Every structure is written in structure tokens, then in C-alpha cells.
Amino acid sequence: MDTEDKLRAFLKRVTADSYQAHQRLRELEEEKSEPIAIVAIGCRLPGEVSSAEDLWELLTRSEEAVSEFPLDRGWDLTDLYDPEPGKPGKSYVRHGSFVSGADMFDARLFGVSPHEALAMDPQQRLLLETTWELLERAGIDPATLRGSDTGVFVGASHSGYGWDRQVPENAQAHLGTGTAASVLSGRVAYGFG
């Protein structure tokens, strides 16, 4: 067999081996990949929206989720309003879109002390509650998540909550973690296992 024949035989063998390796890799990838299914949704949105059904209803009615500033936020609304735009610490509007119910947080259910709950950004409280709700809707017992290969992925930004918030002295130590958006996924992972 001359050199050209040896080279041709070698290339055929390498090509066949490469094809077989590629096929095996594809089989392994197919075995490992499972379809992803959204089995439940939890949400809290302006307009008293606390479920996907509520959101759909709001959208089909073509309503806006705008209301006057809520009275239960501790804001001095008479001092907050100024009709001239751009004044520091003032609002030139009297309406907005607000999520309600953040003050109804059941701290004990999530193993959060009352002092820590006082220092928690409403985003953290609402995330824990909506996580619980979506697990219920999906029929998943939270206890089954402990030690499982379950990921928690959260996108959030800083809300400004806590910068000027007056909390009792015994709750101030919790403001760092209570107001950081970076701990949101950790709250869920720790709270649910």
C-alpha cells in the first residue's frame, strides 16, 4: 500500500470515528436535556393583581393600574406634592402604580424575626409570598425542595427602600440584608431549602 492509499484509509477511519463520536455526543445531550415547563406563576403587580388570572383580567378590561398615592406608606402626602417638576424630594404627580399588601407579610411562616421583617424591603417579602403561592399552585410541597437540584434566579433592582426608613433600633442591624436586591434569590433558597 503506497502512501496515498495509507492516507486515504487513515482519513476514512478518522472521519468515521469523528462521525460516531458526534452521534454519541448527540445521544448523551438528548438524554441529559429535559423539556422545561412552566407549571405555575406567582406575581404581585399594581392594580390589585396577585395572579396570572388577575393580570389577564386587568388586560382584557383595558384598564390602567394607576391610583392616587396610598395612605398606608407613611408618606406625608401634603408635603410630598409640588406641582413644579424637578424639585428635590417632591413629586409633581398625585398618581402612580402601586403594589398593595406588602405590609401583610407573615414573617413567622418564613422563619423571619419580627425585627428583621421591619427592615425588609417589600420586594423581599413579596418574593417569599409569591414563591410560596406558586409552589402551592404547582402542587409542590416546599419540604421536597430541601437538598434538591433546584435553582433560584431573580432579577431585581434596588428600590430605594430603607434609605430614609426609620426602623426601631433593634431592627437596624437587618437593614443591610433587608434592603439589598442581591439577597433576593438567597432569601428564597434559604427559606425553601
Q: Left if phi > 0, otherwise alpha if psi is -120 to 50, otherwise beta: which for 66?
A: beta
In a domain, 129, yes or no: yes
Predicted confidence (pLDDT) per residue in 97-135, tens digit: 999 888 889 999 999 999 888 888 889 999 999 999 999
User: Does residue 20 belong to any structural domain of this protein?
Assistant: no
- Of 73, 76, 65, the residue nearest 160 (C-alpha): 73
Is residue 137 a part of any domain in this protein?
Answer: yes
* CA distance between the termini of the chain: 67
Q: DSSP strand E in the chain: where?
A: 67-68, 95-96
3-state helix, strand, coil in the chain (%, to 5): 55, 5, 45
Asked if residue 132 belongs to a domain, the reply is yes
Q: Is residue 133 part of a domain?
A: yes
Query: Domain residues for 188?
Result: 113-193
Identify which has the larger pLDDT, 184 or 4: 184
As a whole number of Å, the CA-based R_g of the chain is: 27
In a domain, 95, yes or no: no
Task: Tell which residue, 74, 70, 68, has the closest CA to residue 93.
Answer: 68
Average pLDDT over residues 64-87: 89
What one-character DSSP code corresponds to residue 178?
Answer: H
Q: Number of structural domains, the chain?
A: 1
pLDDT of residue 73: 81
* pLDDT per residue as tens digits for the range 55-71: 999 999 988 899 999 88
Does residue 3 lie in a domain region?
no
C-alpha cell at 62: 383595558
Q: What whole-number percentage of the chain has pLDDT above 90?
A: 35
| pLDDT for 163 | 60
Q: Which three cell numbers stand for residue 147?
A: 437538598
Note the pLDDT of residue 128: 95
d(CA 180, CA 161): 9
What does the DSSP assignment read for 37-59? --------BTTTB-SHHHHHHHH
Nearest to 41, CA basis, from 50, 31, 30, 28: 50
Facing residues of 96 across strands? 67
Asked if pLDDT for residue 1 goes beyond 90, the answer is no
pLDDT of residue 164: 61
In a domain, 138, yes or no: yes
Q: Which of 15-19, 127-131, 150-154, 164-168 has the lowest mean pLDDT?
A: 164-168
